[in-house]
Structure 1
Amino acid sequence: MNRYLVMLMRRPQCDPAIVPLHREFLEDLRAQGRNELSGPFSDKSGGAYLLRAASPAEALAIAHRDPAHTSGGWDITVHEWLAD
């Protein structure tokens, strides 16, 4: 499995009620061994998580199931992480 950095930036229309659903999604990923690390940015502009997936396509598919994405309240980008 490879690592992917999923970055989420809040849009003005972000619904705060989605945050608990997003956190539940991240906990489910953690239970599957796919979410290594996650957290919000200190300025409340968004957050990021480190995702384990077999390919860029799989990482993007997983990130697109995130309630933060499906709600339309966050911009999500996925970057392959080549950490040592």
Structure 2
Amino acid sequence: MKRFLVMLMRKPQLDPAVIPLHQAFLAALREQGRNEMSGGFADKSGGAYLLRAESLEDALEIAHSDPAHTSGGWDVTVYEWNTH
């Protein structure tokens, strides 16, 4: 599997009720061995998680099913990450 950095930047219309749904989504990914680490930025502008997926298409499909994305409250960007 490859690694992908998923960056989430909060939008002004963010609904705080979505945050627990997003956290549950990340917990489910951790249980599947797909989320290596995650966390919010200290300035509360957003956060990131390190996702394991077979391809960029797979990573995008997973990230776009995140409540953070489906709610429209965050801008979500996915980068393939070549770690060493």
TM-score scaled by structure 1? 1.00
Residue 55 of structure 1 aligns with an amino acid whose one-letter code is: S
- 2:18 is aligned with 1:48: no
Structure 1, unaligned runs of 5 or more = none
- 2:21 is aligned with 1:15: no
Between the aligned residues of both structures, percent identity stands at: 70
Equivalent-residue separation in structure 1 for 2:59 and 2:3 (angstroms): 9
Summarize deviations over 1:41-65 as a string: whole Å, max 9, x none.
0000000000000000000000000
Residue 83 of structure 1 aligns with an amino acid whose one-letter code is: T
Instruction: Quote the RMSD (CA, aligned, Å).
Output: 0.2
Counterpart in the other structure of 2:69 = 69
Structure 2, unaligned runs of 5 or more = none
TM-score scaled by structure 2? 1.00
Summarize deviations over 1:9-51 as a string: whole Å, max 9, x none.
0000000110000000000000000000000000000000000
**4+ residue segments displaced more than 6 Å:** none
Q: 1:6: how far off?
A: 0.1
Equivalent-residue separation in structure 2 for 1:9 and 1:22 (angstroms): 13
